[in-house]
Amino acid sequence: MNNDVYFRNFLNTKPGEISVRIGFSPSCWDAFGTELVSKIVTENKDIFPNYEAVINEYKAKRYMPWQTAGNEYHDSWGVGWRTSVNGITGAAIKPSIESWDDLAGFVPPDPEKQNGWGAMDWPRTEAEFAKTKKVKSGGLRHGFLFLTMSYIRGYENLIFDMHDDEPNLQKLIGMVYQFNKFHVDRYMALGADIMHFPEDLGAQNGPLITLEKFRKYIKPVYEKLYKPVKEKNRLIHMHSDGFILDLVDDLIEAGVDIINLQDLVNGIDNIEKQVKGRAGIDLDIDRQRITVFGSEKDIDDHIKEAVMKLGDNEKGFSMFHQIYSETPEKNIIALVNAFRKYKNFHA
């Protein structure tokens, strides 16, 4: 990925091309051989400018503890996790505050030492920021607020807490907010140009939380976390999988500059109507249907449609695809070729 091209796409400057990024999920490491991946990335260095790093990742196969099959892992918040597939983040199976009786003795993680998943190495981060001459990116743990609370309490418990206006819920929200605020403030002090807020808010057919509860419990905290970034005039990037069109207006109103959302679940026509011209679009290219089961022509047609309808967004446009182990080699190549073919269409 060329970070500078990506960044310029959302600064209303002329990058010369649409930023396109392709990543290999760690789940591919057991399914795809290093030889195959090396061939793909070295023959397409324009799409994989970090090809050497991709190859080295395949050789190392260092799965994170929460992505290691059969391993029960406890994150920074004490939540128990387990996965059955190497390279895939599994499920939160043991809430750390399943009963509110557990709240009194609960100690939140130290943001100076933890990032939500595990240990945080701030000296290393500071050193990397100091030496880079390129775009500096900061980011919170995936699922930084709503999902973190659902892990700590359990999803059903959390939804009932919101429905019942549980008084203890505000204490939990405050804990998670303060943890995240430390990280946002620290990244802003280090000079981050863009701040990433990843949080899956959608299921396949609708949001995981009602608009009413989102506005009451989640949106106000988002706005507080976005505030230090806005004060520095830096970019706010919000990621969410799933159907989130019901929440998009509120996300933009809260201050999101760039929305990374899924194409087929939300619909390209809907994204064009509701997001284009109002926020930058970092389009997450399908990984469930077309790129797995479609033909090369299906993939080409899909990328062309996305670029034709969203590519001239005055707030910026980019495309991203994460490859999983079910994706056929021919479809990976088809996607690479389509990205190359259309990335200069609106340049």
Dihedrals phi, psi of 9, to nearest 5 degrees: -60, -25
| CATH number of the domain enclosing 154 | 3.20.20.210
Same domain, 150 and 111: yes
Same domain, 110 and 169: yes
Task: Count the neighbouring beta carbons within 10 Å of the beta carbon of residue 151.
Answer: 25
Tens of pLDDT along 199-252? Answer: 999 999 999 999 999 999 999 999 999 999 999 999 999 999 999 999 999 999
The DSSP output letter for 314 is: T
Same domain, 216 and 308: no
pLDDT at 1: 46
Mean pLDDT to the nearest integer, 187-202: 97
The residues, any chain, with a CB within 8 Å of residue 271's CB and separated by 6 or more, are: 261, 263, 281, 283, 310
Same domain, 236 and 334: no
Same domain, 102 and 251: yes
Is the residue at 273 inside a domain?
Answer: no
Same domain, 46 and 161: no
pLDDT at 347 over 70: no
Both tokens of residue 143? 């699922």
Q: Which structural domain range is residue 289 located in?
A: 1-64+283-347
Tens of pLDDT along 77-88? Answer: 999 999 999 999
Give percent above pLDDT 90 in the chain: 82
Same domain, 220 and 112: yes
Same domain, 107 and 246: yes
Taking the C-alpha atoms of residue 10 and residue 151, their distance in angstroms, rounded to an integer, is 33
Is the residue at 316 inside a domain?
Answer: yes
Pseudo-torsion of CA 222, 322, 81, 212, nearest 10°?
30
Same domain, 196 and 139: yes
As a whole number, the mean pLDDT across the chain is 93
CA atoms within 13 A on the CB side of 118: 8
Is the residue at 126 inside a domain?
Answer: yes
Is the residue at 104 inside a domain?
Answer: yes
Taking the C-alpha atoms of residue 315 and residue 10, their distance in angstroms, rounded to an integer, is 6
3-state secondary structure of 68: coil
| Residue 4 and residue 62 in contact, taking contact as beta carbons nearer than 8 Å | no
Taking the C-alpha atoms of residue 75 and residue 245, their distance in angstroms, rounded to an integer, is 30
Same domain, 111 and 248: yes
Is the residue at 261 inside a domain?
Answer: no
Closest CA to 192 of 260, 137, 254, 123: 137
Taking the C-alpha atoms of residue 179 and residue 187, their distance in angstroms, rounded to an integer, is 13
Cα-to-chain-centroid distance, residue 266? 16
pLDDT at 345: 78
Mean pLDDT to the nearest integer, 153-180: 97
pLDDT at 122: 96
Relative orientation angle of helices 34-42 and 329-342, to the nearest 10 degrees: 20
Is the residue at 34 inside a domain?
Answer: yes
3-class secondary structure for 87-116? CCCCEEEECCCCCHHHCCCCCCCCCCCECC
Q: Which run of H or of E encompasses 207?
A: none
Tens of pLDDT along 52-61? Answer: 988 888 888 8
Same domain, 58 and 113: no
Give percent above pLDDT 70 in the chain: 96
Same domain, 110 and 210: yes
Task: Return the minimum-mean-pLDDT range out of 146-150, 198-202, 299-303, 315-319.
Answer: 315-319
Q: How many domains does the chain have?
A: 2
CB-based contacts of 267-275 (< 8 A; 24+ apart in sequence): 268/305, 268/306, 268/309, 268/310, 269/309, 270/245, 271/310, 272/309, 272/310, 274/245, 274/248, 274/249, 275/248
pLDDT at 10: 76
Is the residue at 262 inside a domain?
Answer: no
For residue 8, name the pLDDT band (cuts at 50, 70, 90).
Answer: low
Q: What is the DSSP string of 41-53?
A: HHTTTTT-TTHHH
Taking the C-alpha atoms of residue 343 and residue 337, their distance in angstroms, rounded to an integer, is 10
Taking the C-alpha atoms of residue 31 and residue 91, their distance in angstroms, rounded to an integer, is 21
Task: Return the minimum-mean-pLDDT range out of 36-45, 107-116, 205-214, 215-224.
Answer: 36-45
